[in-house]
Amino acid sequence: MSDIFRIKSISQFHEILGLPAPEHPLISLIKEKEAMSEPNIDDALFDIRFASDLYTIMYKDKISGSLGYGRNSYDFQEGTLIFASPGQVFTSPKKEDLQQKEGWTLLFHPDLLSRSNLAAKMDSYSYFSYEVTEALHLSEKEQRFIVQLVDQIKTEYAQNLDKHSQQLILSNLELLLNYCMRFYDRQFYTRSNMHSDFVAKFESVLKSYFKSGKIAEHGIPNAGYFGDALSMSSNYLSDLLKKETGKSVKEHIDGYIIRRAKNTLLSSNQSVSEVAYGLGFDYPQSFTRMFKKKTGLSPNEYRNLN
């Protein structure tokens, strides 16, 4: 399974599943029971790694099982939503493991969003870059509401298209994405005690990075480093920290750098350049600009003031 099969369009995905041609070229709702019962399903679909050029929202209902995502396999639970942006890699099940399943997949091509306000907002839906283990777990009430929204999207694109169709499809899709953001906020809130442990672990990893000397070799860490260290995606970690502390990963890193800089400026005779290099900056000017932006004073002004 070294090669990655790429799905480039809605119609190609329908063809692979042995489904009729899509009712809309850029968006489709596929019910798993219907797709898996098709006699013409392509054997090439099974036990392969694949990526698509489509946005994907998968809903798993009243079942349990596993999903290949990246190079790993993850269990999922009933009542979950999983999101994937174009280019993310999945692994399909083996044919002998195929079962009749309840759930659905909503697929839409980026071209659907062309020249719309929603296109500019897609980056704000950071959950499309979460790991599958960071899925959205819905309450029964939330599940019913999401299913209604998705059915409304299908109703709109399945009927005869007119001059209002595109806007109504996009409006309902945006409403779906906004509610998913709201439900993720609820999930962050209800899991606050568990998440507070991650905040403490993040702070510990941050301090250890600077104290270990990695800063001299690798420079200032980014969100990806901490996501790997804490076994979560960088976007999920950043959103989690934002909900728990009001600050993003970068703001936490910058704040820690400023605290260390202040201590070094007041407790040593190091030049500003030496302080900057010791904190992972390639150029002292970058450190000076950041310090002044955060404190209102240059490093020398801060040192002389105190």
Of 8 and 34, the one with more pLDDT: 8
Residue-wise pLDDT for 97-130, tens only, equals: 555 566 899 999 999 998 899 998 998 898 888 8
pLDDT score of 167: 93
Q: Is the pLDDT score of 91 beyond 70?
A: no
Q: DSSP label at 26?
A: S
Residue-wise pLDDT for 169-185, tens only, equals: 999 999 999 999 999 98
What's the average model confidence in pLDDT over 9-25? 90
Average model confidence (pLDDT) across the chain: 83
Which CATH architecture does the domain made up of 193-305 adopt? Answer: Orthogonal Bundle (1.10)
Residue 120, burial from CB neighbour count under 10 angstroms (0-12, 13-18, 19+): exposed
Among 104, 179, 94, which residue's Cα sits nearest to residue 142?
179
d(CA 137, CA 190): 11
Q: Is the pLDDT score of 156 beyond 90?
A: yes
pLDDT score of 72: 47
Residue 208, burial from CB neighbour count under 10 angstroms (0-12, 13-18, 19+): exposed
**What's the pTM?**
0.65
Q: Is the pLDDT score of 32 beyond 80?
A: no
Of 231 and 295, the one with more pLDDT: 295
Q: Is the pLDDT score of 64 beyond 60?
A: no
Query: Which pLDDT band, with edges at 50, 70 and 90, does 243 fall under?
Result: confident
Query: Which pLDDT band, with edges at 50, 70 and 90, does 71 fall under?
Result: very low
Whether 4-190 and 193-305 share one fold: the answer is no
Q: Give the distance, in angstroms, between the CA of residue 290 and the centroid of all CA atoms in the same chain.
A: 28
Query: Which pLDDT band, with edges at 50, 70 and 90, does 70 fall under?
Result: very low
Q: Is the pLDDT score of 304 beyond 90?
A: no
Query: Which pLDDT band, with edges at 50, 70 and 90, does 3 fall under?
Result: low
Q: Give the distance, in angstroms, between the CA of residue 74 and the centroid of all CA atoms in the same chain.
A: 16
Q: Is the pLDDT score of 235 beyond 60?
A: yes
Of 159 and 176, the one with more pLDDT: 176
Of 35 and 50, the one with more pLDDT: 50
Tokens linked to 7: 């799905």
d(CA 273, CA 277): 6
183: CB partners within 8 A, 6+ apart: 136, 138, 142
Of 191 and 80, the one with more pLDDT: 80
Tell me which fold the domain 4-190 belongs to: Jelly Rolls (2.60.120)
Looking at residue 113, its amino acid is: L
What's the average model confidence in pLDDT over 276-285? 92
What's the average model confidence in pLDDT over 42-59? 76
Q: Which residues of 142-177 are buried (b: 16+ CB within 10 A; e: fewer)?
A: bbeebeebbebbbebbeeeeeeeebeebbbbbbebb
pLDDT score of 151: 95
Q: Where are the domains of the chain?
A: 4-190, 193-305
pLDDT score of 48: 64
Q: In what order do the strands lie in the sheet with 80-84?
A: 27-31, 103-108, 55-60, 80-84, 136-137
